């Protein structure tokens, strides 16, 4: 950390602090109230990436953060510039992604006077941030930035917003240091967990014949994968994962059951109905997983590892819990467990795997599942895959067998359409040598496709695979299954020719509409050294199965397409 030599402005002090914290990129969009900060970026070693919409900046920062484990930094102006970040902030908050959002603001004397482009972004983002600041004094900037980075990326990570009035950023910085002490006595981070809790967990494994490990995003954030592999092998316990826990334990491993939950594999959900112990490592028993908490893993011992004390007992009351870092706790737990006798249990689960494999039909035309099956064949879990939200997301989660938690990015908690493509851009910035593929729907892609300009400008070789069924497919599926096929607000009539759209941005386009072209054209796109938009036109009416209707438990899973009408689900969305 350096001490300032010449008189700095607040904005210059801010940028120096960001440089000192190792910030490589800022994704942003300029505007009047943020001009002093953009000015201070001229000549900085931080690379400024001008996006086309502030929501794009937040999802790009999110993708970068998930891939690198470092906070993504966003810089926007006041008013609409700031409010356009809210969806991205909420997305990051729901999935515990570290992010710093810097917003310009009107000058301090005008605050609260409905000044031009004034929005109370400090107030309006409160429910979606881990913490936020409205800076009232230029000399506070270094402390606030230090606290912001500390808060964003320790404990359970999350977004931190710093609102910076223009007079504060353009005013003189007269502080003594750019590295002052933090002042956050109310902030505590859980560490390695309580040993007696860990021993209690180990004891419960001793009596278990049918254990199950559930891997959530917390395990990915803590990089607990290696410890979990050792634990699973020592216990000989099968492993399932949430949507966001994909890959931290390789889904290609014989002990893996893949994803559980609403559209999880049949065998993972059947395991829930049969296990006598389930240990969640960094999963919050979200409603996509438990369906109905009262009927979740009935009779099984519930064990819960989480860094956030508020997650303990929020949805399920565990028999034993341990609060702390997932990796440190699993490493300790490993020392106290002995192998379980799970031969029969694994044989039972292997039976389910044989009986209910993931499948697809190529006889009626090109299906999304087939395209994603061929994508899996082409990349074998070695690419970073991001998704949007909807049917393609669930099929992707089913067919893309992840081998690394940081190579699977999806908006899980928020379910934000428009996330996948900009997240892939952020992933590519964070991992420039990796193959990055955004699997998106025709609906979601049209919410953020304008970042094709960002891809072109920065020569990012991102591949975008559009699964185009000309519907908001997941909602159409619900309307078909639960609402007598009364389609309402789901027909995406008027979709563009996505190859021409790509061409307009000088980006290569590849069109797929026949089964026999899939493998070859995917390969052509993947082998191409630059960005490619792959437009896969698939059959319009197709449904994701297995399905556990919202509000139901795994016991009521629908594995095959139902022949009779289903009752309306009671659970949320």
Partner 1 sequence: MTTKPKNLHTISFLVANKPGVLVRIAMVFARRGYNIDSLVVSASVNPQYSRMTITASGETITLEQIIKQSAKLIDVLHVEEHTGIDAVDREYALVKIKTTPSTKATILKLCKKFHTHIVDHTDHVLIVSQGGTTEELDQFEGLVKKYGILEMIRSGKLVMAKGKKIT
47-84 burial code (b ≥16 CB/10 A, e <16): eebebbbbbbbbbbbbbbbbbbebbbbbbbbbbebbbb
Crossing angle (nearest 10°) for helices 420-430 and 54-68: 50
185 HSE (CA, 13 A, CB side): 0
CB of 287 to partner 1, least distance (A): 15
Q: Are 282 and 222 in contact (CB under 8 A)?
A: yes
- The angle subtended at Cα 138 by Cα 10 and Cα 149, nearest 5°, is 80
Give me the phi and psi of 415, to 5 degrees please.
60, 55
Strands 508-512 and 532-537: parallel
Residue 306 β-bridge partners: 323
> Which of the residues are catalytic?
54, 116-117, 166, 474
What's the min distance (Å) between Cβ of 563 and partner 1?
40
Nearer to partner 1, 105 or 387 (CB): 105
Find the shortest distance in angstroms from Cβ 66 to partner 1. Answer: 22
The bridge status of strand 239-241 relative to strand 8-9 is unpaired
Residues that bind partner 1 (CB under 8 A): 122-123, 126-127, 130-132, 134, 151, 184-187, 308-310, 312-314
Q: What is the nearest approach in angstroms of partner 1 to the Cβ of residue 183?
A: 8
Which residue's CB is nearer to partner 1, number 167 or number 348? 167
Least Å distance, CB 471 to partner 1, is: 33
Shortest Cβ distance from residue 420 to partner 1 (Å)? 28
**Lookup: tokens for 150:** 């500390």
User: Which residues touch 36 (CB under 8 Å, ≥6 apart)?
Assistant: 9, 10, 11, 166, 169, 170
In the complex, minimum distance from the CB of residue 114 to partner 1, in angstroms, rounded to a whole number: 19
Question: 187 vs 482, which CB is nearer to partner 1?
Answer: 187
CA–CA distance, 527 with 128 (Å, rounded to integer): 40
Alpha-carbon distance of 555 to 430, in angstroms, equals 41
Query: Quick one: which of 100, 98, 70 has its CA closest to 431?
Result: 70
Separation of alpha carbons 265 and 344, rounded Å: 20
For strand 8-9 and strand 172-173, is the pairing parallel, antiparallel, or unpaired? antiparallel
């Amino acid at each position: 950390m350096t001490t300032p030599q010449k008189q700095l402005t607040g904005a210059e002090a801010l940028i120096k602090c960001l440089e000192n914290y190792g910030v490589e990129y800022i994704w942003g969009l300029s505007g009047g109230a943020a001009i002093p900060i953009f000015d201070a970026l001229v000549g900085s070693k931080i690379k400024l990436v001008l996006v086309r919409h502030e929501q794009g900046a937040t999802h790009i920062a999110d993708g970068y953060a998930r891939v690198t484990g470092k906070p993504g930094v966003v810089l926007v102006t006041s008013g609409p510039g700031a409010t356009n970040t809210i969806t991205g902030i909420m997305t990051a908050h729901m999935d515990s992604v570290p992010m710093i959002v810097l917003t310009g603001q009107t000058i301090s004397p005008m605050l609260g006077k409905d000044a031009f482009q004034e929005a109370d972004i400090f107030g309006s983002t409160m429910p979606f941030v881990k913490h936020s600041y409205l800076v009232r004094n230029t000399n506070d900037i270094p402390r606030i930035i230090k606290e912001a980075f500390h808060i964003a990326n320790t404990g359970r990570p999350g977004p931190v917003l710093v609102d910076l009035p223009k007079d504060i950023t353009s005013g003189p910085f007269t502080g003594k240091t750019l590295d002052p002490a933090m002042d956050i006595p109310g902030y505590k981070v859980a560490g390695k967990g309580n040993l007696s809790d860990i021993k209690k967990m180990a004891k419960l494994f001793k009596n278990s014949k049918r254990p199950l490990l559930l891997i959530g995003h917390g395990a990915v954030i803590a990089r607990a994968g290696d410890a979990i592999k050792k634990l699973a092998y020592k216990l000989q316990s099968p492993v399932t994962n949430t949507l966001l826990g994909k890959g931290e334990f390789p889904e290609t491993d014989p002990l893996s059951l893949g994803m559980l939950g609403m559209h999880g594999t049949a065998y993972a959900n059947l395991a829930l109905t049969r296990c006598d112990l389930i240990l969640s490592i960094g999963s919050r028993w979200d409603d996509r997983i438990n369906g109905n908490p009262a009927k979740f893993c009935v009779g099984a011992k519930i064990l819960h590892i989480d860094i956030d004390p508020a997650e303990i007992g929020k949805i399920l009351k565990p028999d034993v819990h341990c609060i702390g870092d997932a990796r440190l706790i699993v490493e300790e737990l490993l020392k106290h467990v002995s192998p379980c006798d799970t031969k029969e249990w694994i044989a039972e689960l292997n039976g389910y795997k044989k009986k209910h494999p993931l499948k697809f039909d190529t006889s009626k035309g090109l299906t999304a599942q087939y395209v994603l099956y061929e994508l899996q064949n082409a990349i074998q879990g070695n690419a970073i895959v991001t998704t949007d939200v909807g049917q393609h997301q669930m099929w992707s989660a089913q067919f893309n067998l992840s081998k690394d938690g940081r190579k699977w990015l999806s908006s899980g908690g928020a379910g934000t359409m428009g996330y996948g493509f900009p997240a892939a851009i952020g992933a590519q910035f964070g991992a420039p040598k990796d193959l990055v593929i955004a699997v998106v729907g025709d609906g979601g892609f049209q919410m953020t496709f304008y970042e094709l300009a960002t891809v072109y400008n920065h020569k990012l070789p991102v591949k975008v695979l559009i699964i185009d069924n000309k519907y908001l497919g997941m909602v159409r599926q619900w309307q078909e299954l639960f609402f007598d096929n009364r389609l309402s607000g789901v027909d995406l009539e008027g979709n563009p020719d996505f190859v021409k759209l790509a061409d307009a941005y000088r980006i290569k386009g590849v069109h797929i509409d026949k089964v026999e072209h899939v493998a070859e054209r995917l390969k052509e796109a993947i082998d191409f050294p630059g960005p490619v938009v792959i437009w896969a036109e698939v059959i319009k009416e197709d449904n994701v199965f297995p399905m556990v209707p919202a509000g139901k438990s795994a016991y009521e899973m629908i594995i095959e397409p139902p022949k009779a009408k289903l009752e309306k689900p009671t659970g949320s969305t």
